[in-house]
Structure 1
Amino acid sequence: MHTALACIAALTLDALAGEPRRGHPLVAFGSLAAWLERRLNAGSDAGVATGALAAGLLLAPPVAAAVWAAATLPVLPLLVLDAVVLYLAVGLRSLGEHARAVALPLAAGDLAGARRGVAALVSRDAERLDEAGVAGAAVESVLENGADAVFASLFWYVLAGLPGVVLHRLVNTLDAMWGYHTPRFDRFGRVAARLDDALNWAPARLTALSYALAGRSGAALRCWRAQAAGWSSPNAGPVMAAGAGALGVALGGPAPYPGGWRQRPRLGEGAAPGAHTIAAAVALVRRAVVLWLVLILAGGVAWSLTTAAG
């Protein structure tokens, strides 16, 4: 029951307090990562080994501290620590807040305001997006960030406790900072990117299944099976294809980026997205979270009963 209680407490904290506005540990970690990268990375001359060294230097101390805490703290203090760390790792409320910052102005006909909101979520050239493009970008962000920021954190906490959620969240942060195919980061950030891919492989597919169960199941499974492999990311493909199918909406397609237009595969099936689709995507993520909590709680009860019987 320890794991289930920590998950419930963390998501309750997130719902009540949201993401901390000041002093978030991930912000401090990101600042440290940026400082170390500037000193070790000589752009295209920096090798994969240098990037691996930087990742190791950043990851080893907090993960070791989490291992120590999980092994030595009494039950109640560890439960509190687990809940707080998991609360800091998930971002369900902030996901909804960012989505509303796009959906509300879009529904009111304020395309400029919706573009400003979506620019905070995606790397696309927001000024060149029409209404459907803005809505599609927001829905894609909600589906993918639901997998990365919510479900993967829950998965690694359930599987490996405090060290698991710490490792995943910090690796995910490094990938967001270094995982670019640019001359500066292509080699230096490769280890962080590969680690993130590996840690998200199973959670991404469980997220895709959860979206299917929480939405239009047949369409979600059909789109996952037929479309996921064509997406550039091996983990985002299943998540976004299943999510689009679950919502009954068409995503993907051509999109403007600072370097020009990119032709992307189509995902999902149905109508073009709109402001209402953004709200539907957030609701889909929340239904999937409830499904996970029910399963985690049921597993905790079953484990407690089995332990008591033994």
Structure 2
Amino acid sequence: MSVALLTVAGVALDALLGEPRRRHPLVGFGNLAARLEQRFNAGGRGWRSHGVTAWFLAVVPLTLLALILSWLPVIGWLVDVLALYCTLGLRSLGEHVLPVAQALRQGDLEEARRRVGYLVSRETRELDEPAVARAATESVLENGSDAVFAALFWFVVAGAPGVVLYRLSNTLDAMWGYRNERSERFGWCAARIADGLHYIPARLVALT
């Protein structure tokens, strides 16, 4: 199948089904990442080299598995479609942000504040309508870059292994890529790789 058809199929699955209702594959990966951090960054004492090792152990085997499965005759195309489906979050993003817009249109500021609180980590109880709208828009752009544009970009570039590499790297960045005492050294590799993978997709978001 062509890349265009595979992409349409993956997006259609996301639009039809949304995120997997049962255990999302990324939940299991998150548990693996947590165990690797306990092993290589116990007490926040891990160095950059430890973070590099943990990143490779977490990402490379699964990326190679996706590559091998995508090469299989007959079912390789299905692996591509499912990989894209599991890494997209377009429908989920809409399900979270549309209630904010609807509440604002109806003049229900309290509901809009409550709903936007699900999208952002800041305190929302004192936000006025423009601030709520800005917070929701910023969240859509940021998460749209992560869960839509970048996933589609790396799928088009490299198929299932590309989108798996991207999504796992992005997840590790979200877990390890903090500039605090515990993660600054250990999470350096995850943060820098995620920055590189986002470089072009983020600019595509800006163009839109």
TM interval, short-chain normalised? over 0.9
Report Cα offsets for 1:90-144 as digits up to 9, x if no partner: 1111111111232223333333332232222222222343322221111011112
What are the within-5 Å matches in structure 2 for residues 77-96 of structure 1? 77-96=75-94
Q: Within 5 Å, give how 1:172-251 maps onto structure 2.
A: 172-209=170-207, 211=208
1:44 offset after TM fit, Å? Answer: 4.3
- Residue 11 of structure 1 corresponds to 11
Partner of 1:2: 2
Is the 8 Å Cα contact of residues 70 and 79 (structure 2) preserved in structure 1?
Answer: no
- Find the counterpart in structure 2 of residue 107 from structure 1: 105
Where relative contact order (Cα < 8 A, 6+ residues apart) is larger, the structure is 2
Aligned equivalents of 1:24 and 1:174: distance in 2? 16
Gaps of 5+ in 1: 212-310
Residue by residue over 1:207-233, the C-alpha shift from the partner in whole angstroms, topping out at 9 and shown as x without a partner, is 323x0xxxxxxxxxxxxxxxxxxxxxx
| Equivalent-residue separation in structure 1 for 2:32 and 2:136 (angstroms) | 29
* Structure exhibiting the larger radius of gyration computed from Cα positions: 1
Over 6 Å off, 4+ runs: none
Tell me whether 1:39 sits opposite 2:39 in the alignment.
yes
TM-score by length of 2: 0.92
- Which residue in the other structure is 1:295 paired with? none
Question: Which residue number corresponds to residue 131 of structure 1?
Answer: 129
Q: Quick check: 1:179–1:193 contact (8 Å CA) kept in 2?
A: yes
The Cα offsets for residues 226-265 of structure 1, whole Å up to 9 and x where unpaired, read as: xxxxxxxxxxxxxxxxxxxxxxxxxxxxxxxxxxxxxxxx
Identity of aligned residues (%): 56
1:118–1:34: structure 2 CA closer, same or farther, 3 Å change rule? farther
What residue identity is the alignment partner of 2:12?
A: T
Amino acid in the other structure paired with 2:136: A
Q: Which residue of 2 aligns with 1:50?
A: 50
What is the DSSP-based 3-state SS (H/G/I as helix, E as strand, rest coil) of the residue aligned with 2:23? coil
* Distance (Å, rounded) in 2 between the aligned partners of 1:110 and 1:180: 35
Residues 193, 131 of structure 1: alpha-carbon distance in 2 compared, 3 angstrom cutoff: same
Q: TM-score, normalised by structure 1?
A: 0.63
Structure 2: state its 5+ residue gaps.
none
Indicate yes or no: 2:117 matched with 1:119: yes
Query: Hey, what's the Cα distance between the residues in 1 that align with 2:183 and 2:196?
Result: 19
Structure 1 residues 130 and 42, CA gap change in structure 2 (3 angstroms): farther
Amino acid in the other structure paired with 1:25: P
What is the DSSP-based 3-state SS (H/G/I as helix, E as strand, rest coil) of the residue aligned with 2:125?
A: helix
Change in Cα spacing, 1:119 to 1:184, as seen in structure 2 (3 Å) is farther
CA-based RMSD of the aligned residues comes to 1.7
